Amino acid sequence: MKKHKNDIYEDDQSVEGNASPPIAAATVLLLREKKELEVLMLQKTTKIEFGGMWVFPGGKVDQTDIAKTTDENEAARLAAIRETKEEAGLELPGENFIWFSHWVPPASQKKRFSTWFFLSYDTLGQKVSIDEGEIQNYQWITPDLALQEHKLGTIDLAPPTWVSLYQLSKFSTIDQAITRLSSKKPRFYQTKIVKDGQGRRVALWDGDAGYVQSKGNSEGPTHRLIMSAEGFEFEHSAIDY
């Protein structure tokens, strides 16, 4: 069965026991309020990894971040702050960055990023400035509209970006998002890729009935993203979003 064009995961899932160490990275969902809650999204140039996709500001945790702390979570926060300035030209205080999720791709990926996802916000109305190098475009967009445009095929979103937008779509204000997500422990997504009974590729996460045994046709609670060629479908009866 044909893959969705934004299914970024490798076809071969046979190397689960031989994974290379993932590269530490951080990304941030930057919020603002106009008439509705909006999030900043950047479009990567087609010449780099995940080229053309719409993403959140972010990048690798580098040595300057690591040198400032012995805590890997704090190093990731420092990377998120730095990348926000480098990729979007926005300077935001560190206390505004809330770690709410963590994503690790399957062991089969040739290049793996262990990514801290942060939430932050700009209430000062700073102007976004992109370098037009690695980033070729930007937009402030409501999470609902981003998901609708992905469904129509007008923007490209990787699965972690899609799920993060889905989670953010449940809030209508910055205060709601900050209050809810800061009150919970960060959610970990250790991704497994399987096929369901219809032959569709599925990303599974902890809580899904098929997660432990890596089965896509198990009956019971769901926490999965079905990535058929026609679009993404999120099922999460096991997890409250």
* DSSP-derived secondary structure for 89-124: -----GGG-EEEEEEE--TT-SS-EEEEEEEEE-SS
Superfamily in which the 20-187 domain is placed by CATH: Nucleoside Triphosphate Pyrophosphohydrolase (3.90.79.10)
Q: Report the alpha-carbon distance of residue 49 to residue 44 in Å, rounded.
A: 8
pLDDT digits (tens, 9 = 90+) for 148-183: 999 999 999 999 999 999 999 999 999 999 999 999
Contact 146, 54 (CB under 8 A): yes
Q: Report the alpha-carbon distance of residue 49 to residue 53 in Å, rounded.
A: 9
Q: Is the pTM of this model over 0.85?
A: yes
Per-residue tokens: 117: 């996802």
> Which pLDDT value is given to residue 49?
63
- By CB atoms closer than 10 A (0-12, 13-18, 19+), residue 42 is buried
Nearest to 144 by CA among 225, 35, 230, 27: 35
Question: Left (φ > 0), alpha (ψ -120 to 50) or beta: where does 81 sit?
Answer: alpha
Contact 104, 22 (CB under 8 A): yes
Q: Give the residue ranges of the chain where pLDDT is below 70.
A: 12-19, 46-51
> Which pLDDT value is given to residue 126?
87
| Parallel, antiparallel or unpaired: strands 23-33 and 113-121 | parallel
> Which pLDDT value is given to residue 158?
97
Residues of the chain with CATH 3.90.79.10: 20-187
